[in-house]
Amino acid sequence: MTDISSMEPLLPSDGNRRLEDLVAELIEKASRFAARLNPVLHRELGDLVRFMNCYYSNLIEGHNTHPVDINRALRGDYSRDAKKRNLQLEARAHIEVQAMIDRGEMPHPVVSLEGILWLHREFCIRMPDDLLWVENPETKEKLPVVPGELRMHHVQVGIHVAPEPEVLPDLLRRFTEVYGSRGLSRVQRLIAVAASHHRLGWIHPFMDGNGRVMRLFSHAMLRELGVGSELWSVSRGLAREVKTYRDLLMAADEPRRGDLDGRGNLTEAGLSRFCEFFLASCIDQVSFMESLMEPAELLNRLTVWCEEEMLAKRLPRGSLPLLREAVIAGEFARGQAVALTGYQERQAGTVLNTLIKKGVLVSPTSRSKVRLGFPEDVVERWLPRLYPITN
Ligand SMILES: Nc1ncnc2c1ncn2[C@@H]1O[C@H](COP(=O)(O)OP(=O)(O)OP(=O)(O)O)[C@@H](O)[C@H]1O
Ligand SMILES: [Mg+2]
């Protein structure tokens, strides 16, 4: 029978220099990135990155929902094909739950039983019924996934036999005590983000959806620590190295390998290795997003694109200064279009309206300021490799 000591150690021993260095690098890179971007651009890009995050998090599960279909789902346009429609709903669910986290609407501390159940509940209540069943691989019995409820059946993840349902409350109590402890230093808390990702997978609290909940949980923890933001997500990193992610999760489930491998029931070396991978993936993603959104680089790519469009007569002359202003200033008043383009009011208005019509500039009302928009057809040019456009 599993008891709470079965999942020890919950944290790698103190004084692990590699982990401490990775944490220091993550804090430094994440704060530099956060300070650099214009706040208005920040908001627009947040939507795009949430979108990307859901694409990657579901991809890890093997659910490949094309970005075009996710976009349609966000507009309420669902496929007639039931399978595709289900995946669209699933993608939308992921985005909505992350948006609540990012807006600070999580009603419980992240590291709490209530917080974890809330994540699962909010994600699952948005899911189509078809996706709320799992099949027992041996008996073929169909078992329901109840939103926000701990599982009542045994499960196995790969070769790991997850703990018995009866001990889940005790394990989660210990889990939240340790990872939510006020006694942890900032560095330890960030190592705890990585370690808890594995231990939550090991506990496997729910019948299904554990992976998505784990990734949303880690995202929320990073955000709570002021390191995570809506502008980057570790899911992209995990999805790009999904085999290593799975292998290292699995390796950290193994029992302690002798006297030099910590003092718990499970391998400490395996846990540290997983934490290294997780933190390095975070650093990678911050760096990638930083380079992608670096204002000068973004401006270069946008300029090249705009010049091509003007040459092909798909955009009117005078478009570039308006787009540039949106990148540099974040937003500008419509009245500024005259000064920016050097055109007469009417002509400047035509240019502005063409850009709004194309979605590259957005403005909630006909009087409000305009900001940069990111319609599907330009994302790959302005922000290459944000997500792979597959067919
Ligand atoms: N050996 C393991 N140890 C700990 N956690 C694991 C292990 N193998 C897989 N996991 C985690 O469990 C998840 C799968 O669990 P489950 O099917 O309940 O989640 P999901 O959200 O439906 O799927 P997915 O995570 O694949 O999107 C994996 O994504 C991974 O995050
Ligand atoms: Mg699953």
**Is 154 within 8 Å of 164 (Cβ atoms)?**
yes
Has residue 387 got a pLDDT over 80? no
- Residue 15: which residues within 8 A CB-CB, separation 6 or more? none
207 bridge partner residues: none
Query: How far does the centroid of ligand 1 lie from the alpha carbon of residue 278, in Å?
Result: 15
- 198 and 261 within one domain: yes
- 171 and 57 within one domain: yes
- Average pLDDT score over residue span 57-81: 88
Residues 186 and 272: their CA atoms lie apart, in Å, by 17
- 243 and 327 within one domain: no
Read off the pLDDT band of 81 (50, 70, 90): very high
- Domain termination site, one of 293, 312, 334: 293
Instruction: State pLDDT tens for residues 315-370.
Output: 999 999 999 999 999 999 999 999 999 999 999 999 999 999 999 999 989 889 99
pLDDT at 357: 96
pLDDT at 274: 98
Residues 232 and 35: their CA atoms lie apart, in Å, by 14
Query: How far does the centroid of ligand 1 lie from the alpha carbon of residue 238, in Å?
Result: 12
Has residue 385 got a pLDDT over 50? yes
Q: Across the chain, what does the average pLDDT equal?
A: 94
**Domain region containing 304:** 295-382
CB of 285 closer than 6 angstroms to any ligand 1 atom: no
- 338 and 216 within one domain: no
**Is 341 within 8 Å of 348 (Cβ atoms)?**
yes
Question: For residues 204 and 379, which has the higher predicted lDDT (pLDDT)?
Answer: 204
CB of 205 closer than 6 angstroms to any ligand 1 atom: no
**Which ligand lies nearest to the CA atom of residue 155 in the structure?**
1
- 317 and 238 within one domain: no
- 212 and 361 within one domain: no
- Average pLDDT score over residue span 256-266: 95
Read off the pLDDT band of 389 (50, 70, 90): low
pLDDT at 377: 87
CB crowding 252-265: b at 16 or more within 10 Å, else e: bbeebeeeebbebe
- Average pLDDT score over residue span 266-279: 98
Query: What SS3 state is found at 274?
Result: helix
- 114 and 186 within one domain: yes
Has residue 391 got a pLDDT over 70? no
- 11 and 65 within one domain: yes
- 204 and 331 within one domain: no
Query: How far does the centroid of ligand 2 lie from the alpha carbon of residue 61, in Å?
Result: 6
Residue of 10, 53, 56, 61 with the most ligand 1 atoms within 8 Å of its CB, for mutation: 61
- DSSP label of 129: G
User: Is the pTM above the cut of 0.95?
Assistant: no
- Residue 112: which residues within 8 A CB-CB, separation 6 or more? 176, 180
Alpha carbon nearest to ligand 1 atom 31, residue:
211
Question: For residues 284 and 44, which has the higher predicted lDDT (pLDDT)?
Answer: 284
- Average pLDDT score over residue span 242-248: 97
Residue of 97, 116, 134, 210 with the most ligand 1 atoms within 8 Å of its CB, for mutation: 210
Instruction: State pLDDT tens for residues 126-147.
Output: 999 999 999 988 899 999 999 9
Has residue 390 got a pLDDT over 80? no
Residue 211 CA: nearest ligand 1 atom is 25
Instruction: State pLDDT tens for residues 160-197.
Output: 999 999 999 999 999 999 999 999 999 999 999 999 99
Has residue 93 got a pLDDT over 60? yes
Torsion sign over Cα 34, 182, 53, 268: positive
Q: What's the domain count of the chain?
A: 2
Has residue 214 got a pLDDT over 70? yes
- On the CB side of 316, CA atoms within 13 Å amount to 16
332 bridge partner residues: 370
Whether 388 is in a domain gets the answer: no
- Domain termination site, one of 261, 293, 325: 293
- Average pLDDT score over residue span 95-101: 95
CATH of the domain at 57: 1.10.3290.10
